[in-house]
Structure 1
């Protein structure tokens, strides 16, 4: 789902860069505030960025020579809220473009908007809607829907840049969605399941940090000790 270097027309590349920039700037400020208020969360913050980097670097071949990949941004959005992931996701995409050849510099704005802005916000929204059912359901929904939201946004970006000759934007959107659906939908389900496993591990090793971040509620004993 990384849009390759030079694939978008220059006007579109500039437009998506301008749209994504305010979210990234706001995200940078959010990261600074997070570290100042909770310096003990720096390790978890770095882990969230590393998790996103590793997971989104996995590529699965799709139709027509393109590829699909997980994103990993849903977990970070739950832990630190979407603005933080806007900045971390941008760093991830920048390093992937420079070191791995995934995506590109001219398309960084478009990739940032889909994976680091839309993905985290949609994932966090589903976390808020479903966490009352159970934490595992909330994490699964956040991870899976962040992945699918990224995929849908990227498809829309490509459809805007390359409308279908007969069907226009709608026709192109259906084609791009169809190209990635075969691989992206199963990937989103697997990403959701992986997120549940990773979150359970975090609960066992970083419960105080998760409670302090407001992801989990303090137990009755912890309230009494406080």
Structure 2
């Protein structure tokens, strides 16, 4: 069983990634998505989010270099698996309300396996592919999307994971909470990013944030729960077949 999974996980990742790419190309959606679309942010805010995200990206490169150079068994394969997981899940755009859409993020798996730092690099790669090939997100909004999905999400998820494990919470429950709250924190961050730029005329930034949160919540809450269960299934398969150690390279 172990040899079978070793042989087939890279191929499965490639197949899933291809399916996600074809799905997005064949069924594009023009919408105010959880990824902030091209042109929605003024230049000053685009520059601001790039500047805020840059230190995390540099740290992520350092972490990725350590992973690639490590002697940990299956490190590169698991890194590719985590990247494919983020790409496929975050490409599944689900129609929401008022012309918006929601999607899972997939960052919980890589966060638990490698720590939150490396997710900023994997996230930039994924977001670039989606912006260029799937019309999902944008290049000028790359910094903002990276900050919400691959910085805030993973760091929140990692904090939840470590806290749960410190209190001896069951591994599957800890992972479920990590993935679910990483997803929710992403959509909360995106809502505030949009609210700052588009404040409500009467209730200001807070009122606008509440409206954006309400728009996403209808689909994002159940999606995050489903993502949590899927992340648990994938992670437990990897661990139970001795393809990865729980504390390796975090």
TM-score, length-normalised on structure 2? 0.83
Residues 111 and 197 (structure 1), Cα distance of their counterparts in 2 relative to 1, 3 Å cut: same
Q: Does 1:209 align with 2:244?
A: yes
Give the superposition deviation at 1:200: 1.5
Residues 125 and 10 (structure 1), Cα distance of their counterparts in 2 relative to 1, 3 Å cut: same
Q: Deviations over 1:1-29 (max 9, x none)?
A: 10001111111111111111111111011
Give the superposition deviation at 1:212: 6.1
Give the superposition deviation at 1:75: 1.1
Which residue of the partner structure matches residue 158 of structure 1? 194
TM-score, length-normalised on structure 1? 0.91
Q: Using the alignment, how far apart are the partners of 1:75 and 1:104 within structure 2?
A: 24
Residues 135 and 14 (structure 1), Cα distance of their counterparts in 2 relative to 1, 3 Å cut: same
Which residue of the partner structure matches residue 148 of structure 1? 184
Q: Using the alignment, how far apart are the partners of 2:129 and 2:146 within structure 1?
A: 12
Q: Does 1:110 align with 2:126?
A: no
Which residue of the partner structure matches residue 162 of structure 2? 128
Structure showing the higher helix proportion among its residues: 1
Q: Using the alignment, how far apart are the partners of 2:72 and 2:229 within structure 1?
A: 30
Q: Does 1:8 align with 2:44?
A: no
Which residue of the partner structure matches residue 116 of structure 2? 82
Give the superposition deviation at 1:119: 0.4
SS in 2 for 1:67: strand
Structure 1 portions without partners, runs of 5+: 216-226
* Count of residues in correspondence between the two structures: 214
Give the superposition deviation at 1:128: 0.9
Alignment root-mean-square deviation, CA: 1.3
> Residue 96 of structure 2 contacts residue 102 of structure 2 at CA under 8 Å; is this kept in 1?
yes
Which residue of the partner structure matches residue 223 of structure 1? none
Residues 211 and 193 (structure 1), Cα distance of their counterparts in 2 relative to 1, 3 Å cut: closer
